Amino acid sequence: MVPPMPSPLRRSLALLVLTVGTSATVRADIYRWVDQEGVIHFTSKKEDPAAKLFLRGNRSNRGRDFAPSAPSADPTRYTRYDVWIRQAASAYQLPEALLRAVIKVESNYEPKALSHAGARGLMQLMPDTAAAMQVRSIDDPRENIFGGARFLRILANAFAGDLRKTIAGYNAGEGAVRRYNGIPPYEETQAYVERVAMFYRRYRSMPDAAEASREP
């Protein structure tokens, strides 16, 4: 179970999201443990001696390393999932614009996007990541969105609400971000963070999601 985020972290993430600058494989370790009441918990930190490393991380699609099956010229896909994006953002206390930006960069809103590595759906979840995030059907757009949002929430908790580290963690993994105490010096990850941040700002400033989703 993702631990609830204290109010200071909510404020921290909100502030950092508002001030975000322009300035390979995900390696965020996920631990699984069962409490005395039999409740299964997933966390990015080994908080219990009985915790077992459940997952090394999500292997997200890289750039255009996916094969979309939906017509890429269809602009309605940019608003088709609005209700679920809002629900997931509210449930995991994340900015709606952040979820939209990650979806845009990961899959360009193609619900059937499939990477060569096996990442699937709008938020490009690998099957083991989806399972850890309690996603029952990885190809279901709503569950895919909620699974990706849950993973972002874990990363946001791990980095005390630091937006850019959270974004970098989704791409390069929590371990890499901690190792370099910031965005890793990987060309791909640095480009990914800037691209997500760019679309984040566009979604915040433009009420028309379809217009904001256009390539600059």
Average pLDDT, the chain: 79
pTM here?
0.75
- H, E, C per residue of the chain: CCCCCCHHHHHHHHHHHHCCCCCCCCCCCEEEEECCCCCEEEECCCCCCCCEEEECCCCCCCCCCECCCCCCCCHHHHCCCHHHHHHHHHHCCCCHHHHHHHHHHHHCCCCCCEECCCCECCCCECHHHHHHCCCCCCCCHHHHHHHHHHHHHHHHHHCCCCHHHHHHHHHHCHHHHHHHCCCCCCHHHHHHHHHHHHHHHHHHHCCCHHHHCCCC
Distance between first and last Cα of the chain: 38
In the residue annotation, 96 being an active-site residue is answered as no
Distance in angstroms (rounded) separating the CA atoms of residues 161 and 14: 8
- What type of residue is 67? A
Q: How confident is the model at residue 78 (pLDDT cuts 50, 70, 90)?
A: very high
pLDDT for 2 = 43
Q: What is the mean pLDDT of residues 36-60?
A: 60
Tell me which of 47, 96, 106, 188 is the catalytic residue. 106
Return the CATH class of domain 7-212.
mainly alpha
Distance in angstroms (rounded) separating the CA atoms of residues 137 and 210: 26
- What type of residue is 68? P
- Decide if pLDDT at 17 tops 70: no
Domain positions in the chain are 7-212
Tens digit of pLDDT for each residue in 143-202? 999 999 999 999 999 899 999 999 999 888 888 899 999 999 999 899 999 999 999 999
